[in-house]
């Protein structure tokens, strides 16, 4: 047991502890008004309760041998497809999107768990075919493998999560030797196809792209979120206004302040300094994920770590980018900070898988 504890990546563990702690603090501030009305903060209580449960599950993930996941990759793929189909048939609609399934008093988002499942499934799929991945066409079976869950999530509609699948696949393809000239060709093809793809977007998605280019185009509609987020972050200046002292958040000018726009709460209340601290923590998270990927004892471990790290990086870039106005608004939460039990559980379990891969490598060296 002492050797097991010594072999854990304590830098990664400390980073996750700090991020989840900051997340609880920010959620408490963002939902302070609700707590005053109801007498208790149900958001903090729920997030804290599931955090404790997730810590136990994460410890269980670390204790397992990650190689055993290859044996259940195909059943996981089937479960993923069934869950996403279940959303279409029995899903609960909120804010115009059908993305949740209710089980008793708990609502969970299958598309969040599908990220973790697809990382395992695609890693296993590519690992079995790694020696055949020499030409761009050799990657087409893997693209088709990801296409089914991608389309099912896109129909919810949830473009943000669908793009996360693309980021996961790209991260793993890169590890397998996907060449830069192929990436350039795909980028060119996407640019040429953009006018056609535009016709398939929902109207709200088109509006988000329009207001990304010009937020003042619809300042009280589609552009409202971005405008209020930029005001909140800018008003925090260097040191911020203080915990629970942010006017944009506390007076409900900032929508979705405890979920998608929680970074704006951090910027307003803790200022530039607080925002930089959060960014540095995410840099450490990505660094440790890349380190695990580079040092994994086999290709399967490398692919798993690359997919997890790519997912974290995509979430951070897109979420923070949209809060400061340099990315279109999408429903992509900030890992470990945003409120949401499905997102928190997925991120914690994947962090446990990173620790698992690192422990197996370190133990092998020992």
Tens digits of residue pLDDT in 35-63: 666 667 888 999 999 999 999 999 999 88
- In which element (H, E) is residue 166 found? helix 159-176
Contact, 47 vs 27, CB < 8 A? Answer: yes
Query: Within its chain, how far is the Cα of 355 from the centroid?
Result: 18
Q: What is the mean pLDDT of residues 307-320?
A: 95
Q: Tell me, what's the pLDDT at 15?
A: 96
Q: How crowded is residue 105: how many other Cβ atoms within 10 Å of its Cβ? A: 5
Percent of the chain with pLDDT over 90: 46
Does residue 39 come out as left (phi exceeding 0), alpha (psi in the -120 to 50 range) or beta? left
DSSP 139: G
Q: What are the backbone angles phi and psi of residue 102, rounded to the nearest 5°?
A: -95, 130
Instruction: Give the count of domains, the chain.
Output: 1
Contact, 334 vs 263, CB < 8 A? Answer: yes
Q: Tell me, what's the pLDDT at 93?
A: 66
Query: Within its chain, how far is the Cα of 37 from the centroid?
Result: 31
List Cβ neighbours of 250 (8 Å cut-off, separation of 6 or more).
29, 32, 33, 244
Distance CA 81, CA 146 (A): 11
pLDDT digits (tens, 9 = 90+) for 107-135: 778 888 999 999 999 999 999 888 888 88
Q: Is the pLDDT of residue 363 over 60?
A: no
Distance CA 309, CA 143 (A): 19
Distance CA 24, CA 218 (A): 33
Q: Tell me, what's the pLDDT at 364?
A: 45
CA dihedral sign of residues 8, 9, 11, 16: negative
pTM tops 0.75: yes
CA dihedral sign of residues 310, 312, 318, 324: negative
List the 106-108 sheet strands across, edge first.
92-94, 97-103, 106-108
3-state DSSP assignment of residue 93: strand
Q: What is the mean pLDDT of residues 334-359?
A: 93
Q: Is the pLDDT of residue 366 over 60?
A: no
Q: Please give the residue range of the domain that contains residue 66.
A: 2-365
Place of tokens 């060119």: 188
Q: What is the mean pLDDT of residues 236-249?
A: 90
Q: Cite the beta strand spans of the chain per DSSP E.
A: 92-94, 97-103, 106-108
CA dihedral sign of residues 42, 46, 52, 55: negative
């Amino acid at each position: 047991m002492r050797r097991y504890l010594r072999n854990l990546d304590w830098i990664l563990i400390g980073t996750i502890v700090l991020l989840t702690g900051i997340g609880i603090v920010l959620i408490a501030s963002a939902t302070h008004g609700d707590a005053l009305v109801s007498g208790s903060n149900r958001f903090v209580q729920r997030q804290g309760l599931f955090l404790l449960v997730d810590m136990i599950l994460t410890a269980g993930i670390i204790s397992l041998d990650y190689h055993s996941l290859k044996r259940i990759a195909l059943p996981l793929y089937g479960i993923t497809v069934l869950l996403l189909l279940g959303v279409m048939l029995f899903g609960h609609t909120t804010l115009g999107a059908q993305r949740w399934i209710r089980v008793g008093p708990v609502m969970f988002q299958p598309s969040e768990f599908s990220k973790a499942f697809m990382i395992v499934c695609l890693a296993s799929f590519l690992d079995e075919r790694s020696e055949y991945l020499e030409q761009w066409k050799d990657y087409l079976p893997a693209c088709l493998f990801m296409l089914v869950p991608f389309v099912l999530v896109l129909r919810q509609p949830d473009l943000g999560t669908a793009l996360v699948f693309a980021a996961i696949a790209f991260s793993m393809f890169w590890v397998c030797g996907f060449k830069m000239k192929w990436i350039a060709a795909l980028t060119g093809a996407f640019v040429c196809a953009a006018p056609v793809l535009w016709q398939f977007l929902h109207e709200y998605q088109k509006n988000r792209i329009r207001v990304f280019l010009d937020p003042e185009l619809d300042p009280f509609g589609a552009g409202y979120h971005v405008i209020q987020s930029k005001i909140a972050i800018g008003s925090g200046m260097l040191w911020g206004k203080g915990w629970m002292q942010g006017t944009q958040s506390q007076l409900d000018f900032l929508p979705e302040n405890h979920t998608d726009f929680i970074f704006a709460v951090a910027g307003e209340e803790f200022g530039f300094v607080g925002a930089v601290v959060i960014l540095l923590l995410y840099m450490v998270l990505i660094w440790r994920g890349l380190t695990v990927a580079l040092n994994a004892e086999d290709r399967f471990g490398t692919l798993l770590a690359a997919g997890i790290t790519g997912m974290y990086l995509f979430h951070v870039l897109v979420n923070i980018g949209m809060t400061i106005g340099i990315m279109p608004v999408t429903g992509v939460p900030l890992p470990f900070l945003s409120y949401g039990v499905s997102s928190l559980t997925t991120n914690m379990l994947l962090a446990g898988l990173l620790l698992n891969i690192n422990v197996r490598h370190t133990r092998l060296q020992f």
